[in-house]
């Protein structure tokens, strides 16, 4: 029995090799071409990408390594507690009820992704559509309080003198925008603020919208 198996194995191997040799090679057009590119019938395409090493080096020198840019250029939502501290620092009464900035803030904790300690759920780091909508509603409701209280806030005073969000002509002031956002105002900030006021149906409504728009732009990624 062993002798017969020893004789048959080489014969079967030669037969298989012969069968493979008799198969026709696939046409050249069916063979994969390019860098890791497959045919339509066998796999999905991998587009060829070429990166200029000098361009990549310049980008890394300007933006920093990926482990750094992934942190500083990411766009996590502002924390719930931080929103409250920002509002309070600009004169907003967080104890308000109903359709006030304080009321919307207090009742919007879940929409804003606040932590739920009873359910052992940490605070959400993503800005959802519901959270963005509630945050903008809060800024709209807070705008009149911010405009009124800004001159009285020590955080916004310059040399002991209060800062006004708008001058006597109703135009936005650079110091007021800087106080509202926490960063020095640019010409683009002032232009956007003034355009919002000018295009409103009512000057007071325009001022409130300008404050809300600038605050939302400063504290979200939109």
**Cβ-contact 80, 112 below 8 angstroms:** yes
Task: Tell me which residue has tokens 């400063």.
Answer: 218
Mean pLDDT of the chain: 80
Residue 196 has pLDDT above 80, yes or no: yes
In a domain, 45, yes or no: no
* ∠ CA 20-22-26, rounded to 5°: 80
Eight-state DSSP code of residue 118: T
Reported residue count of the chain is 222
Which pLDDT value is given to residue 84? 93
pTM for the full predicted model: 0.65
Task: State mean pLDDT over 154-169.
Answer: 91
In a domain, 168, yes or no: yes
Question: What is the pLDDT confidence band of residue 60, given thresholds at 50, 70 and 90?
Answer: confident
In a domain, 44, yes or no: no
Spatial neighbors of 209 by CB under 8 A, at least 6 apart, are 140, 143, 196, 197, 200
Count: domains in the chain: 1
pLDDT tens for residues 67-107? 777 666 666 788 999 999 999 999 999 988 888 999 999 99
In a domain, 49, yes or no: no
pLDDT tens for residues 137-161? 999 999 999 999 999 999 889 888 9
Q: b/e per residue, 113-124, with b = 16+ CB within 10 A?
A: bbeeeeeeeeeb
Which pLDDT value is given to residue 18? 52
In a domain, 192, yes or no: yes
Tell me the two tokens of residue 109.
């904790």
**Cβ-contact 100, 141 below 8 angstroms:** yes
Which pLDDT value is given to residue 92? 93
Q: Which of 36-45, 75-84, 206-215 has the lowest mean pLDDT?
A: 36-45
Task: State mean pLDDT over 163-190.
Answer: 92
Task: State mean pLDDT over 17-44.
Answer: 53
* Residue 165 domain boundaries: 80-219
In a domain, 75, yes or no: no
Task: State mean pLDDT over 23-40.
Answer: 54
First to last CA, the chain: 81
DSSP characters over 45-76: --------HHHHHHHHHHH--HHHHHHHS--P
Q: b/e per residue, 67-103, with b = 16+ CB within 10 A?
A: eeeeeeeeeebbbbeebbebbeebbbebebeeebbbb
In a domain, 158, yes or no: yes
Which pLDDT value is given to residue 5? 47
In a domain, 153, yes or no: yes
User: What CA–CA distance (Å, rounded) separates 176 from 190?
Assistant: 10
Which pLDDT value is given to residue 39? 57
Task: State mean pLDDT over 112-125.
Answer: 87
């Amino acid at each position: 029995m062993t002798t017969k198996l020893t004789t048959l194995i080489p014969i079967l191997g030669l037969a298989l090799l012969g069968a493979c040799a008799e198969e026709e090679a696939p046409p050249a057009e069916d063979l994969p071409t390019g860098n890791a590119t497959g045919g339509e019938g066998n796999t999905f395409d991998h587009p060829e990408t070429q990166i200029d090493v000098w361009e990549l080096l310049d980008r890394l020198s300007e933006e920093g390594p990926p482990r750094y840019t992934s942190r500083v250029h990411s766009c996590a939502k502002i924390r719930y507690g931080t929103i409250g501290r920002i509002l309070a620092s600009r004169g907003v009464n967080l104890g308000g009820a109903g359709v006030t900035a304080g009321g919307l803030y207090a009742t919007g904790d879940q929409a804003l992704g606040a932590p739920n300690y009873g359910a052992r759920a940490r605070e959400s780091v993503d800005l959802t559509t519901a959270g963005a909508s509630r945050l903008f509603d809060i800024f709209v409701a807070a705008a009149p309080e911010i405009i009124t209280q800004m001159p009285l806030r020590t955080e916004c005073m310059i040399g002991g003198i209060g800062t006004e969000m708008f001058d006597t002509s109703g135009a936005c002031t650079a110091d007021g925008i800087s106080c509202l956002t926490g960063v020095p105002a640019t010409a683009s900030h002032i232009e956007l603020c003034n355009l919002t006021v000018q295009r409103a149906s009512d000057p007071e409504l325009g001022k409130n919208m300008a404050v809300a728009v600038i605050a939302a732009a400063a504290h979200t990624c939109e």
